[in-house]
């Protein structure tokens, strides 16, 4: 399907805006080596190290998000049918908060950090300096195409780097919009946007970068890491996977159902930390299912295609992918939902029961509005189930019994976790966000984004006023004794 078709078909829902006049572009004349060389010249000039420059750029980004809110929201509606308020909160407000945190704390973050040093090195001073890394590449995905491209660059700029942004071609209107407006606000000599698909990303990956920050699927993450390895470039990989949810018999089921349904069906399930599937204590399975249905009806009404508050699948390729999971052998049957409309890229919020744990819908990350609910006999079975699979990006546990929540946290490994909630773990800027194992490596948000894009340079300052001969040869017996005793 071409981009124009994709925008046009999605224009039928009440949530979609008119197709943007900005058309997505590839960059056939991309000269990646020259681009990186240009930015390296800027970096080497020292311009981006200035704290005033960093703050000025962050304020310009802030201004851009405020002044161009309408352009951004209509691009998000065009690509994903995102309801305006959802798009504002999860894409624009999120980045504005990151900028506010960076502006408030930057002076403190850049201050060399004093550390204690051993008595043998006294008199002297130990300091850790935060140096910018240089010229960095940020590659974004399509599901939160504004937040996931711009939140990393808040830290990259705060840390004094030059940045190339590569928006996802799968959300073409957002890509074109950001490529058009970013140069109007940010310093073109230090921040560039490259649009395009695999050829452009491949050309960019062939260059020498000082850091690559990639958000997307693990299969592409492997390509990114292999390319980075050629230049020993460090990477941050923000990947996905199947984030499990355990609902215990002690859980507040009414709240659990609402929070699971909200976290799952936000952005039509196209959220990296969406609850992928639910493991529920058998004794409360029937009640949870009933409450999930009530929660969905309350949020989206009976005809979920009618509401302006439910997003669409990003394109027909992903519509076909999610549909195949729903139709696949062993996927189970819809407890509710299951309706589809290919012409509108619509798949209804769907809860599946009777799902085979070995079926494809329980193997692949769903990344769509399907929620398999599987019964287990207790917390230990849930932990075994989770530990027999890849380490997830997020893990959710609903329980009022603290022994259960402690046991789940202690017995499993995941990028992050939330107790009695979904997705909220992303919100506090002081909680670093990232994966582990197959769900990624490295973390960001708040100060961690600044740290990700900084080199921690250890510096020991010595005095020349004292220069005891003990450390120098010749190593007499007396010196050896002293060295063995005190070092």
Q: List interacting residues with ligand NAD (CB under 6 A).
A: 139-143, 148, 166, 168-170, 197-198, 201-202, 215-217, 220, 223, 238-240, 272, 365, 367, 393, 435, 440
**Cα(74)–Cα(82) distance, integer angstroms:** 9
Phi-psi label, residue 442: left if phi above 0, alpha if psi -120 to 50, beta otherwise:
left
Q: Among candidates 40, 165, 182, 58, which has minimal Cα distance to 109?
A: 58
Specify the residue, 9 or 201, whose C-beta has the smaller distance to ligand NAD: 201
Do 429 and 132 form a contact (C-beta atoms < 8 A)? no
Q: Which residue is nearest to ligand NAD (CB)?
A: 240
| Angstrom distance (rounded) from CA 199 to CA 25 | 12
Alpha-carbon distance of 174 to 25, in angstroms, equals: 11
Choose between 62 and 175: whose C-beta lies nearer to ligand NAD.
175
Shortest Cβ 111–ligand NAD spacing (Å) = 29
**What 3-state class would DSSP assign to 115?**
strand
Q: Are 320 and 283 in contact (CB under 8 A)?
A: no
Which one of 195, 200, 238, 365 is the catalytic residue? 238
Q: Smallest distance from the beta carbon of 107 to ligand NAD, in angstroms?
A: 28
Q: Which is nearer to ligand NAD, 35 or 272 (CB)?
A: 272
Return phi, psi of residue 338, to 5°.
Answer: 95, -10
Residue 238 bears catalytic tag: yes
Please state the closest distance from residue 281 (CB atom) to ligand NAD, in A: 27
Of the candidates 162, 272, 345, 418, the residue annotated as catalytic is 272
Give me the least distance between CB of 223 and ligand NAD, in Å please: 5
Closest by Cα among 205, 55, 73, 61 to 139: 205
The tokens for 403 are: 């022994």
Q: Are strands 124-132 and 113-115 parallel, antiparallel or unpaired?
A: antiparallel
Closest CB 320 distance from ligand NAD, rounded Å: 14
Q: Would you say 153 or 272 has its CB closer to ligand NAD?
A: 272
- Whether 418 is a known active-site residue: answer no
Q: Which strand (E) or helix (H) includes residue 158?
A: helix 147-158
- For the annotated catalytic residues, the residue numbers are 238, 272
């Amino acid at each position: 399907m071409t981009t124009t078709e994709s925008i046009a078909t999605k224009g039928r829902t009440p949530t979609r805006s008119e197709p943007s006049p900005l058309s997505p572009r590839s960059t056939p004349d991309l000269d990646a080596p020259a681009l990186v060389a240009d930015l390296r010249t800027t970096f080497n000039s020292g311009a981006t190290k200035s704290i005033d420059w960093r703050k000025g750029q962050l304020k310009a980004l802030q201004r851009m998000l405020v002044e161009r809110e309408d352009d951004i929201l209509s691009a998000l509606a065009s690509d994903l049918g995102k309801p305006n308020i959802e798009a504002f909160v999860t894409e624009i407000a999120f980045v504005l908060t990151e900028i506010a945190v960076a502006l408030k704390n930057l002076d403190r973050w850049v201050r060399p950090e004093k550390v204690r040093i051993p008595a043998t090195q006294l008199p002297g001073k130990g300091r850790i300096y935060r140096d910018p890394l240089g010229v960095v590449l940020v590659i974004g995905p399509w599901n939160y195409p504004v937040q996931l491209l711009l939140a990393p660059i808040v830290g990259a700029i705060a840390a004094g780097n030059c940045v190339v942004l590569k928006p996802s071609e799968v959300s073409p209107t957002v890509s074109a919009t950001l490529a058009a407006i970013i140069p109007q606000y940010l310093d073109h000599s230090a921040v560039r946007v490259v649009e395009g698909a695999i050829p452009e990303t491949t050309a960019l990956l062939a260059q020498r970068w000082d850091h690559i920050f990639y958000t997307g699927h693990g299969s592409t993450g492997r390509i990114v890491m292999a390319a980075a390895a050629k230049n020993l470039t460090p990477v941050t990989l923000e990947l996905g996977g199947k984030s499990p949810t355990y609902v215990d018999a002690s859980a507040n089921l009414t709240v659990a159902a609402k929070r699971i349904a909200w976290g799952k069906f936000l952005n039509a399930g196209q959220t990296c930390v969406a609850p992928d599937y639910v493991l529920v204590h058998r004794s409360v399975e029937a009640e949870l299912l009933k409450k999930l249905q009530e929660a969905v009806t309350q949020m989206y009404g009976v005809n979920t295609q009618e509401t302006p508050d439910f997003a669409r699948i990003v394109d027909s390729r992903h519509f076909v992918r999610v549909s195949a999971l729903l139709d696949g052998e062993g996927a189970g049957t819809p407890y509710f939902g299951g309706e589809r409309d290919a012409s509108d890229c619509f798949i209804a919020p769907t809860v599946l029961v009777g799902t085979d744990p070995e079926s494809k819908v329980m193997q692949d990350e769903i990344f769509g509005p399907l929620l398999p609910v599987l019964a287990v006999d207790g917390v230990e079975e849930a932990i075994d189930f989770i530990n027999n699979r890849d380490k997830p990006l997020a893990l959710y546990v609903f329980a009022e019994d603290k022994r259960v929540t402690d046991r789940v946290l202690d017995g499993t490994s995941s990028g992050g976790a939330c107790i009695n909630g979904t997705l909220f773990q992303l919100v506090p800027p002081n909680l670093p966000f990232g994966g582990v194992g197959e769900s990624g490596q490295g973390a960001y948000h708040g100060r961690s984004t600044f740290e990700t894009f900084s080199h921690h340079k250890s510096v020991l300052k010595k005095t020349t006023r004292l220069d005891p001969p003990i450390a120098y040869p010749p190593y007499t017996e007396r010196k050896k004794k002293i060295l063995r005793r005190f070092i």
